[in-house]
Structure 1
Amino acid sequence: MAIVQNAAPRRATITQGHEADRRRQRLDRGNARWRSFASAHPRQGSGRRRELLEHQEPRVSVLSCADSRVPPELVFDQGLGDMFTTRSAGQVLDSSVLGTLVYGVDEFDTVLLVVLGHDSCGAVKAAIRAHRTGVLPPGHVGYLVGQVLDVVETVPEQETEKAFLDACVRANARSVAEQIREEPGLREAVEAGTMKVEPARYDLRRSRVEWLDDASRSGRGGEGVPAPRARGR
């Protein structure tokens, strides 16, 4: 009996893991369309809107920077109801952001949670400036910059300022992802294998999303990817 009782949760974990991989592949296909100027804008018609009137089940959650150049639904070419999106400058976590992420997991059974940073991030630039000068901006902006500064101060100096900025962007996305993995209310899903948390970086020039855990494991930083060619209008 013990074997039978343990088999169902194991099968559920495997199924959820496969679903997370499948969802990430869908995001990859959407980003490929976006960067080749071939966005399909799927699941946005009248039928989809009627379908979502009473019910939604976005199995993917995205925490992204609030930067106007990085709208997740466009970057991944997804439709209505596909992603549960939360945005804050520098992907900074506070109680309301964490509460939103936990709500997505509890309410919609999130299988994939993406932390999406991007190059040239203004919040990271401000944290680097505070790191150099020792001065935080006043008020609420100072709170936000201080959260990113904690990460910036752990990043080794690089050969150029541009390289240092990019290293900080990557470190910040990975740090936020790790905080999410350890957060009560989310850690249980991660440890059970029912949800994956994936840090990523969006390249503004190439319009490309790079999965940072993949780059870390393979030793690649994602450089050398050609910029998309604009199609004739």
Structure 2
Amino acid sequence: MNRRTLMAGGLVLACAGVVPAGRRARAARPSTPDEALQKLIAGNARYVANTPVNTDHSKERFSRAAGQQPFAAVVACSDSRVVPELIFDQAPGDLFVVRVAGNFINEDGLASLEFGAAVLGVQAIVVLGHSGCGAVDATIKSVKERELPPGHLPSLVDAIRPAVYDVMAENPPDLLAAAIDRNAVLNARKSETSEPVLAGMHASGALVSVAANYDIATGEVSFL
């Protein structure tokens, strides 16, 4: 899909800070979705080994003001311990992050991912669950007790419930861990099959969506 798809009046939405034609905010941008994933995997290995290379966030600050050119998008949980740029050892401007408690993709999330892919050019989408996710745990509790939480929390439960139902039918030894993984897998599939923008880019080979799990205790990301 052409990145001009989401333009209005010939101009990309200015709020996104797209890099002007002919200018690149950062070098060594991956050229394929597989290379984008490998860059994330290598970055996480550095994070786990405590040998990060992206530690000086003042570098290239001026060039980042000209626009952004992230190579991957991460759908992450709002959990304060889950910081994608640190987890994958990437610099500001490298990742397009969509966050919501429970790392699920709703209509707003899909629109954000479409913008990231079709306009900004991200080549990989990672739906990142994490160990001990409180949103998934609360959904399990709601399903078991047949009672919805107060306020606006039922919207989170409704979004995560399909994954919980799926794994409950399989009777796994660790229901929470299984539901966390299934929630990431189902939402990665949603990203991959969302018509027309994301599904079209997946079909053309321009984009890949994967599910992953972040272990808070070890720092390791496992791709599912």
TM-score interval, normalised by the smaller of the two chains: 0.7 to 0.9
Shift of 1:26: 1.5
Which letter does structure 2 place at the counterpart of 1:158? P
Separation of aligned partners in 2, 1:124 and 1:95: 19
> Of the candidates 27, 42, 48, which is equivalent to residue 35 of structure 1?
48
User: What pairs with 1:78-117 in structure 2 (closer than 5 Å)?
Assistant: 78-117=90-129
Given that 2:104 and 2:184 are in contact with CA atoms closer than 8 Å, whether structure 1 keeps it comes out as no
In the superposition, the TM-score normalised over structure 1's length comes to 0.78
Partner of 2:208: 196
Which consecutive residues of structure 1, in runs of 5 or more, have no partner in the other structure?
Answer: 1-16, 213-233
- CA change 1:43–1:187 in 2 (3 A) is farther
Describe the SS at the equivalent of 2:80. coil
Provide TM-score, normalisation by structure 2: 0.81
- Choose which of 23, 38, 51 in structure 1 pairs with 2:36: 23
User: Please, which of 54, 77, 81 is the counterpart of residue 65 of structure 1?
Assistant: 77
Find 1:145's aligned residue among 133, 157, 163.
157
Partner of 1:170: 181
Shift of 1:32: 1.2
Residues 1:210 and 2:222 aligned together:
yes
Q: Counterparts of 1:115 and 1:203 in 2: how far apart (Å)?
A: 14
2:201 is matched by which residue type in structure 1?
A: A
Cα deviation, 1:24-69, whole Å, max 9, x if unaligned, reads 12111211111122222257334x1111111211121111111111
Equivalents in 2 of 1:85, 1:18: separation in Å? 20
Once the two structures are superposed, what CA deviation does each residue of 1:154-212 show, in whole Å capped at 9, x if it has no partner? 112123xxx11111011000000011111122111111111000110001121100010
Say which structure is richer in helix: 1
Letter in 1 for 2:41: D
Name the residue aligned to 1:120: 132
Cα distance change on mapping 1:29 and 1:43 into 2, 3 Å: farther
Contact 2:104 2:183 in 1 (8 A): no
Provide the alpha-carbon RMSD of the alignment.
1.7
SS in 2 for 1:90: coil
| Partners of 1:167 and 1:58 in 2: CA distance | 31
Write the distance in 2 (CA, Å) between the matches of 1:106 and 1:20.
14
Tell me if the contact between 1:136 and 1:146 (Cα under 8 Å) persists in the aligned partners. no
Distance 1:151 1:202 in 2: 17
For 1:89 and 1:96, the matched residues in 2 are separated by: 14
Rounded Cα–Cα distance in structure 2 between residues aligned with 1:110 and 1:153: 32
Q: Is this contact kept in 2: 1:152–1:168, CA < 8 A?
A: yes
Task: Determine the structure 2 residue equivalent to 1:56.
Answer: 68
Structure 2 counterpart SS, 1:210: strand
Give aligned-pair identity as a percent: 33
Question: C-alpha separation between the residues in 2 aligned to 1:120 and 1:106?
Answer: 33
Q: Equivalent residue for 1:157?
A: 171
In the TM superposition, residue 117 of structure 1 has moved relative to its aligned partner by 0.5
Amino acid across the alignment from 2:50: F
